[in-house]
Each structure stands twice: as structure tokens, then as C-alpha cells.
Amino acid sequence: MSTTLTIDQNRYKCEAGETVLDTLLRENVNLSYACKKGTCHSCLVRSDVAPPGLAQSGLKNTLTKQNYFLACQCYPEQDMQIRLPDQSEFYRMGTVITNKLLNRNTILLVMAFEDAFEFNAGQFVNLQRSDGLTRSYSIANIPEVSNTLEFHIRRLPDGVFSTWLHDEVNVGDSIAVSEPRGHCFYIPERREQGILLVGTGTGLAPLAGILNDALANGHSGPIHLFHGSRELEDLYRIDEMRQLAQQKPNFHYTPCLSGSEVPEGFAAGRVNDIVFSQIPDLKSWRVFLCGHPEMVNLMKKRTFIKGAAIADIYADAFLISYH
Amino acid sequence: MSTTLYERIGGEPAVNAAVELFYRKVLDDSTVYRFFGNTDMDTQIAKQKAFFTMAFGGPNNYTGQDMRNAHAKLVTMGLNEDHFNAVMKHLGDTLVELNVPGDLIAEAAAIAESARDDVLGK
Ligand SMILES: Cc1cc2nc3c(=O)[nH]c(=O)nc-3n(C[C@H](O)[C@H](O)[C@H](O)COP(=O)(O)OP(=O)(O)OC[C@H]3O[C@@H](n4cnc5c(N)ncnc54)[C@H](O)[C@@H]3O)c2cc1C
Ligand code: HEM
């Protein structure tokens, strides 16, 4: 049986026995690929309908939920509308309704949208300035009736976009916002599972969203949040988190400081060490890691060695690209 | 009818179970960690999946030359017989932990062993 693949306005016939990748290569569609064995995940694309299970084998559940699949492993069973990774993004305008300091170098930016903005708490969007300059920022809240998105943005020394958001963007301004992206989010299943949230700096943004989502979904297992920075002045939302920990018996919060001054009530050291002194065994835990790329990569390995299953480790490294 | 080792051992689900156990052992083994530690973990996992599919005699298109190429960089990093033996041990331990019968373990070990010269670039 042949099927029709649609990309943008173009339609391609996928012959019986052909994979989606075969068809697209035959039609000279530009798509990255490498192993053709389902191993390298280079040809990851997205469909409008649920793809055959085989084409999603080995993918994270947050990807399968969004109908991502491997083009090289997909023998379509029905017509599909396909989104390539580099396909031009749909942007919509949001209006800034809050821009205020959370600590000495981080702002809370809240944007409102006219229509409902669908996302999973913990995903990120690309913000785009009118000159085309684009950066990724994580959504810090859960979907709300007010159609708002909340961001925590740290000022980087000489960072073009973050400085612009800090110094020049005012309430009432509009900014273009992409569709939500990423697969670091909470799925409401196995509610009794332990959840480990580890973030440095503004890595707290996606974690706050994930935390609130898990609590809103009645997650009953223990939820441990470790938020780290060097100095006290670079943490934020400390009182709010402590309060939440008092209200929710299954939520535990540990602010961590790696610098030399560590006041009472804070754990001394790096998050990557403190976590394991409190939770030595992560077998059957779900893990979320967000923030500094080095921390994220190190913790991916360490949490895995301590027993977390690969499929249960979700991570967003806040990669900074030098332009 | 004789089925393949890959089928008798349990196919893809068995590979997936084995990869996690195996990779955890490798990362926790300071003698071979450096060969696996620096690259992105998700890509490594996918490659270890290829390793097991191969060791179980499952569907794969790897040739001896592919094995040479895949490990050539590691050889320049000092990959030797000892490292190979360590990986063979982790392979065996993993399969024991998964309660794979001894005769099947021996078959898988023999397949992996047959890649020794290619992996070590000999
Ligand atoms: C998935 C994802 C989610 C993210 N979420 C968040 C978030 O929630 N909050 C947040 O604050 N950030 C987040 N980030 C980071 C964010 O996207 C930006 O990278 C960050 O804000 C810096 O952008 P910038 O334009 O201010 O800095 P840039 O102008 O891009 O510069 C970055 C830094 O590099 C330095 N630099 C620039 N060029 C050079 C050079 N040639 N040599 C040496 N140094 C140089 C600059 O001085 C600056 O300190 C996220 C990133 C990713 C990938
Ligand atoms: C026992 C026999 C072995 C077999 C059958 C084998 C098989 C494989 C296969 C199929 C791949 C994937 C290749 C690809 O698609 O890129 C691979 C990659 C790899 N193997 Fe092996 N391997 C063996 C031994 C070893 C040993 C002894 C080491 C190190 C101690 C090792 C380290 C690696 C590493 C690090 C990679 C990833 C290389 C990269 O990042 O490109 N392997 N192996």
C-alpha cells in the first residue's frame, strides 16, 4: 500500500516497502541522516498522526507523546504530515506584562498571549528580537487560563540577548515567541515514583514548571529539588520553595551553595555531590537535570550509575553558543 | 528449526535490558571509563545497543572494516587487550545478571570475541 507524505505544501508518494527516509531521499528533500539503522537518531522528525510503534522504538516517552519518529525506521501505515527539524518555525507575538528582578542578576519576565498557548511545563521556546536575533528560554510556569508564559533570565556578562531583555525591554513591549520545544517535561504516570530535580542558576525555571505540574497532577512519590549556585545572591525563590516544602509533605527542597560562604539552612558544596549524600540510590527514580551544560552531562552519567534508567533521565543543557 | 541466538535470547527487549546494565558497569569501571565517558550519553547508549545486537548475532550491517573504523580512534587512545578483556567480562556479568542460560552466554561471548582483532586494529 502506498501512502502520501506531506511536508509544507509538497506531497510525496511513499511506495509500499519504502521508509519515510527512502522516499524523502529519492525526492531530494534535505534531511540529515546517518546510520539508517535506528541507532543514531539523526533523522528524527515529527508527524501529525501517531506513527507506527516500530518507528518510535528507543525514543523517550516525551518524544513519542509528541509523535516524533525515526524516518529511517518508518513504514507509514497511513498518510502523514511531516515536520522536519529545520523547517521554518511558527512565531507568534506575546506582550510583556512583567519584567522585574528575582535576584541581582536574574529577571522574571512574564508574557501574555491572546490565544491559548499549548505547552508542557518544562519545555522551552525561542524568543526572537525584531532584528532576527534568537535565543532559547525555558518556560517556568504551567499552562494557565491567563495564557501567560513565565521566564527566568540571567544576565550574562556582555550577553547580547539577556542584556537586551534586562535593560531595554519594558512592560507593554511585544516579542516574537516560537512554538514550545524540547522533551524535558513531566508525564502523569507512575505517580508513586521518586522525582529528582537538579538545577543550577536559571535551571530552576523549567524545574519549577515540572514541579508544579507534578504536584498539580497529584504526584504522590517523594519530590526532591536541589538548586545550586556559587553565592547566595544568585539563588532565588528560596522562601517560596521552603514554604511549598512545608505545605507538601512529599516535596523536599535543598538550596546548595558551592562558594565559601554558606549560611545556616543551605547545603555546602556542588549539587552533583550533595544529591548523592542525600539520595544514594536512584533505582526507579525519575530525574530532571537543567542548567549548566557541564553539570547536566556529569549528572546524567552519575544518576545513571546510581541506578536511574536511561528512559527516566530528562535533561536540558542551557548551551550557550558564541556568536 | 534452529532460531538465531538473537531470537533465543529475547530479541530487542533483551538488548535494551542488557545495554543499561552493561553501560552502567562500563561507566563505573575506571579502567575503561575514559573510552566511554566523554561523548554524549544518549549516543553512546545507541551505540552500545548496536554492540549487543551484534554480540547476539542480531540484524546489523557491520563489517569487520566498520568495527575497525568505529574503534580506530580508541586504539590511538591506547585501547588494548586488557580493555577488551574488561569489556568481555562486563558482557558476561551482564548476561548472568539477566539470567541468560550459560550456553547462550557462551555463544554471545564467542561472537564478541571474534571481533577482537578488528576492534583492536590488529
Ligand atoms: C534549551 C535551552 C534553554 C535555556 N533556558 C534558559 C533560561 O531559562 N534562562 C536563561 O537565562 N538562559 C537560558 N538559556 C540560555 C540562553 O538561551 C542564552 O544562551 C543566554 O541567555 C545567553 O544569551 P546572550 O545573547 O545574552 O549571550 P551571548 O551574546 O550569546 O553570549 C553568551 C556569553 O558568551 C560570551 N561570549 C560571546 N561571544 C564570545 C566569544 N567569542 N568568546 C568568548 N565569550 C564570548 C558573552 O560575553 C556571554 O557571557 C537556555 C538555553 C538553552 C539551549
Ligand atoms: C567485544 C567486541 C566489541 C564489539 C562487537 C563492539 C561493537 C561496537 C559497535 C557495533 C559500535 C558502534 C559503531 C558505530 O555505529 O559507530 C561500537 C562503538 C564503540 N565501542 Fe565497541 N565493540 C567491542 C569492543 C569494545 C571495547 C573493548 C571498547 C573499549 C574498551 C569499545 C568501545 C566502544 C566505544 C567507545 C564506541 C563508540 C565510538 C564512538 O563514539 O564513535 N568497544 N562498538
Q: Which residues of A touch B60 (CB under 8 A)?
A: 37
The confidence score (pLDDT) of residue B54 equals: 83
Positive or negative, the Cα torsion across A167, A171, A177, A183?
Answer: positive
> Which region holds residue A8: left if phi is over 0, alpha if psi is between -120 and 50, else beta?
left
Same domain, A201 and A240: yes
Report whether pLDDT(B82) > 90: yes
- Provide φ and ψ at B36, rounded to 5°: -110, -15
Q: Is A247 exposed, middle or buried (0-12, 13-18, 19+ CB in 10 A)?
A: exposed
For B45-55, how does the pLDDT look when each residue is reduced to its tens digit (9 = 90+)?
Answer: 888 888 888 88
Cα–Cα distance for residue pair A294/A300, rounded to 1 Å: 10
The confidence score (pLDDT) of residue B45 equals: 83
Mean pLDDT of B58-63: 77
Grade residue B1 by pLDDT with cuts at 50, 70 and 90: very low
Same domain, A208 and A309: yes
Into how many domains does chain B fold?
Answer: 1
Q: Which residues contact A92 (CB under 8 A, 6 or more apart)?
A: A113, A115, A117, A176, A177
Pocket of ligand 2 (CB under 6 A): B 32, 35-36, 39, 47, 50-51, 54-55, 62, 70-71, 74, 79, 83-84, 87, 112, 115, 119
Cα–Cα distance for residue pair B57/B80, rounded to 1 Å: 24
Question: If interface means Cβ-Cβ distance under 8 Å, which residues of chain B face chain A?
Answer: 12, 16, 20, 23-24, 27-28, 37, 40-43, 45-47, 49-50, 60-61
Grade residue A270 by pLDDT with cuts at 50, 70 and 90: very high
The confidence score (pLDDT) of residue A242 equals: 98
Choose the closest CB to A39 out of B28, B41, B50. B50
Which residues are A28's β-sheet partners?
Answer: none
Report whether pLDDT(A11) > 70: yes
Report whether pLDDT(B27) > 80: yes
Same domain, A228 and A300: yes
- Provide φ and ψ at A10, rounded to 5°: -90, 140
Q: Is the CB of A152 under 6 A from ligand 1?
A: yes
Best residue among B6, B22, B28, B51 to mutate for probing ligand 2's pocket (most ligand atoms within 8 Å of CB) is B51
What the block records as the C-alpha cell of A16 is 509500499
Cα–Cα distance for residue pair B38/B34, rounded to 1 Å: 7
Best residue among A101, A108, A134, A135 to mutate for probing ligand 1's pocket (most ligand atoms within 8 Å of CB) is A135
Domain-embedded: residue A322? no
Mean pLDDT of A169-177: 97
The secondary structure of A150-173, three-state, reads EEEEECCCCCHHHHHHHHCCCCCC
How confident is the prediction for chain B on average, in pLDDT? 88
Cα–Cα distance for residue pair A88/A65, rounded to 1 Å: 22
Same domain, A199 and A174: no
Report whether pLDDT(A1) > 90: no
Into how many domains does chain A fold?
Answer: 3
For A87-101, how does the pLDDT look when each residue is reduced to its tens digit (9 = 90+)?
Answer: 667 899 999 999 999
Complex ipTM, two decimals? 0.79
Residue B71 annotated as part of some ligand binding site: yes
Distance from CA of A113 to the nearest CA of B (A): 35
Domain-embedded: residue A62? yes
The confidence score (pLDDT) of residue B62 equals: 79
Task: State which of A33, A52, A83 marks the end of a domain.
Answer: A83
Name the 3-class secondary structure at A194: coil
Cα–Cα distance for residue pair A170/A134, rounded to 1 Å: 18
Positive or negative, the Cα torsion across A212, A310, A299, A101?
Answer: negative
Question: Taking a C-beta distance cutoff of 8 angstroms, is the pair A297, A270 a contact?
Answer: no
Mean pLDDT of A81-85: 90
The confidence score (pLDDT) of residue A42 equals: 82
The confidence score (pLDDT) of residue B2 equals: 63
What the block records as the C-alpha cell of B81 is 587487550
* Nearest in space to A74 (alpha carbons), one of A105, A96, A53, A101: A53
How large a percentage of chain B has pLDDT more than 90?
49
**Domain carrying residue B102:** 10-119
Name the 3-class secondary structure at A294: helix
The confidence score (pLDDT) of residue A108 equals: 98
- Provide φ and ψ at A133, rounded to 5°: -60, 130
How large a percentage of chain B has pLDDT more than 70?
96
Lowest mean pLDDT among A82-96, A242-256, B86-100: A82-96
Task: State which of A50, A83, A116 marks the end of a domain.
Answer: A83
Among protein residues, the one with the nearest Cα to ligand 1's atom 32 is A159
Same domain, A236 and A298: yes
Please tell me the distance between residue B107's alpha carbon and the centre of ligand 2 in angstroms.
19
Domain-embedded: residue A24? yes
Same domain, A159 and A210: no
Domain-embedded: residue A257? yes
- Provide φ and ψ at A246, rounded to 5°: -75, -35
Mean pLDDT of A64-78: 94
How confident is the prediction for chain A on average, in pLDDT? 93
Domain-embedded: residue B70? yes
Domain-embedded: residue B71? yes
Domain-embedded: residue B18? yes
Report whether pLDDT(A322) > 70: no
Lowest mean pLDDT among A85-94, A112-121, B23-32, B91-100: A85-94
pTM of the model: 0.86
**Domain carrying residue A106:** 91-178
The secondary structure of chain B, three-state, reads CCCCHHHHHCHHHHHHHHHHHHHHHHHCCCCCHHHHCCCCHHHHHHHHHHHHHHHCCCCCCCCHHHHHHHHHHHHHCCCCHHHHHHHHHHHHHHHHHCCCCHHHHHHHHHHHHCCHHHHCCC
Grade residue A27 by pLDDT with cuts at 50, 70 and 90: very high
Same domain, A112 and A212: no
How large a percentage of chain A has pLDDT more than 90?
83
Question: Taking a C-beta distance cutoff of 8 angstroms, is the pair A45, A80 a contact?
Answer: no
Same domain, A212 and A303: yes
What is the four-CA torsion angle of B86, B88, B90, B95, rounded to 10 degrees?
-170
Domain-embedded: residue B1? no
The confidence score (pLDDT) of residue A16 equals: 93
Buried b or exposed e, range A29-64, using 16+ CB within 10 angstroms: bebebebbbbbbbbbbbbbeeebeeebbebbbebbb
How large a percentage of chain A has pLDDT more than 70?
98
Cα–Cα distance for residue pair B45/B106, rounded to 1 Å: 23
The confidence score (pLDDT) of residue A204 equals: 98
Residue A177 identity (one-letter amino acid): V
Grade residue A287 by pLDDT with cuts at 50, 70 and 90: very high
Question: Taking a C-beta distance cutoff of 8 angstroms, is the pair A271, A301 a contact?
Answer: no
Domain-embedded: residue A31? yes
Q: Which residues of B touch A58 (CB under 8 A)?
A: 16, 46, 49
For B8-20, how does the pLDDT look when each residue is reduced to its tens digit (9 = 90+)?
Answer: 888 888 888 899 9
Can you give the CATH number for the domain in which B106 is found? 1.10.490.10
Question: Taking a C-beta distance cutoff of 8 angstroms, is the pair A149, A141 a contact?
Answer: yes
Mean pLDDT of A155-171: 96
Cα–Cα distance for residue pair B116/B87, rounded to 1 Å: 11
Domain-embedded: residue A189? no
Distance from CA of B51 to the nearest CA of A (A): 11
Q: Which residues of B touch A307 (CB under 8 A)?
A: 24
Q: Which residues of B touch A276 (CB under 8 A)?
A: none
Domain-embedded: residue A184? no
Mean pLDDT of A117-127: 94
